[in-house]
């Protein structure tokens, strides 16, 4: 009887392994030796399609540090969505014009995102049509890059305190996207006016917003306030939006700002 119980226990655990093989404390491996981490809301049964926030970390941090942030976990739980922490190969993401030596120039961030999206859809029943990409600092640079050239993999994009390296985009290969850019007026790491960093430079944020509005044919549609954010919104004929939201803080990436972005997209019918 003892051996039968042990056998049944091992068998049951082996059946659960594919779904529970990774999560908050363990890497979820994908192709090319890369990985992500994930936290699912308690209400998720891993069968019903569920929305998700993908987050690209800042310089020198990691998927592990992001996924363990209590404020981020609580935010995802309140929204009832999965939180997916992405991981660059080196300290920085491989995006155009990033400072020399900061990123692994051989890594393909586009295929990495495809691999992660395919994996979470298959393994955790994430709804491919209800996913948002957010990122702080250079993770915000990554987020902007994907909004412009990422073939519309996400329903919306939330860059926080990050902008393009060197110059604003002159054109984008992706269709105009839904973007909510959030930035602190007291940010000295990535100032609104830009800053030299090694061989590159953080672009002027105001010029980036202006350039993207022009590329996607967005027109200014008013201003609004949400808690500590003052936002200027723009829309185009395809009903896509670009919100440019400022707060009085510095180089911070608040969970409540990501939550605001998700709720804003949801209220607009994007999610």
The residue that leads in pLDDT, 200 or 43, is 200
pLDDT of residue 112: 97
What are the DSSP calls for the chain, one per residue?
-HHHHHHHHHHHHHHHHHHHS-SSSS-EE-GGG-EEEEE--TT--SSS-EEEEEEE--TT--HHHHHT-HHHHHHHHHHT-EEEEE--SSSB---TTPPTTSB-TT--HHHHHHHHHHHHHHHH-EEEEEEEEEEETHHHHHHHHHHHHSTT-SSEEEEES---BSS--S--SSPP--EEEEEETT-SSS-TT-EEETTEEEPPHHHHHHHHHHHTT-EEEEEEEETTEEEEEEE-TT--EEEEEEES--S---HHHHHHHHHHHHHTT--
pLDDT band at 49 (very low <50, low <70, confident <90, very high): confident
C-alpha span between 99 and 75 (Å, rounded) = 32
pLDDT band at 9 (very low <50, low <70, confident <90, very high): very low
Distance of CA 93 to the CA centre of its chain: 13
pLDDT, the chain, mean = 90
pTM for this structure? Answer: 0.91
pLDDT of residue 8: 39
pLDDT of residue 12: 35
The residue that leads in pLDDT, 121 or 42, is 121
pLDDT band at 242 (very low <50, low <70, confident <90, very high): very high
Would you say residue 14 has pLDDT above 50?
Answer: no
C-alpha span between 14 and 76 (Å, rounded) = 29
pLDDT of residue 240: 96
Q: Mind listing the domains of the chain with CATH numbers? A: 2-267 (3.40.50.1820)
pLDDT of residue 42: 85
Where is average pLDDT lowest: 27-31, 43-47, 155-159, 184-188?
43-47
Tokens at residue 247, please? Answer: 């707060």
Kindly report, residue by residue over 181-213, the tens digit of the pLDDT: 999 999 999 999 999 998 899 999 999 999 999
The proportion of the chain whose per-residue pLDDT surpasses 70, expressed as a percent, equals 93
User: Parallel, antiparallel, or unpaired for β 126-136 and 50-56?
Assistant: parallel
pLDDT band at 60 (very low <50, low <70, confident <90, very high): confident
Backbone angles phi, psi at 200, to 5 degrees: -130, -165
Question: What residues contact 18, with CB distance under 8 A and at least 6 apart?
Answer: 123
């Amino acid at each position: 009887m003892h051996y039968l119980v042990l056998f049944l226990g091992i068998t049951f655990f082996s059946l659960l392994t594919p779904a529970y093989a990774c999560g908050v404390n363990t890497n979820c491996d994908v192709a090319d030796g890369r990985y992500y981490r994930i936290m699912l809301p308690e209400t998720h049964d891993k069968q019903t399609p569920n929305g998700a926030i993908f987050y690209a970390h800042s310089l020198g941090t990691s998927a592990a540090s992001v996924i363990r942030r209590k404020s981020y976990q609580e935010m995802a739980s309140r929204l009832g969505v999965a939180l997916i922490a992405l991981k660059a190969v080196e300290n920085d993401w491989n995006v155009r014009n990033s400072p020399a030596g900061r990123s692994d120039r051989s890594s393909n961030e586009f295929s990495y995102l495809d691999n992660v999206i395919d994996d979470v859809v298959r393994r955790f029943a994430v709804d491919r049509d209800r996913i948002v990409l957010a990122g702080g600092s250079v993770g915000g640079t990554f987020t902007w890059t994907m909004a412009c050239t990422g073939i519309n993999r996400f329903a919306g994009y939330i860059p926080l305190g990050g902008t393009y390296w060197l110059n604003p985009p002159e054109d984008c290969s992706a269709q105009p996207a839904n973007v909510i850019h959030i930035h602190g007026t007291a940010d000295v790491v990535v100032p609104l006016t830009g800053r030299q960093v090694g061989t590159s430079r953080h672009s002027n944020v105001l010029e980036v917003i202006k350039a993207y509005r022009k590329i996607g044919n967005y027109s200014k549609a008013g201003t609004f306030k949400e808690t500590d954010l003052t936002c200027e919104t723009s829309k185009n004929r395809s009903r896509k939006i670009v919100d440019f939201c400022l707060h009085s803080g510095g180089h911070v990436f608040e969970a409540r700002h990501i939550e605001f972005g998700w709720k804003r997209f949801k209220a607009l019918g994007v999610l």
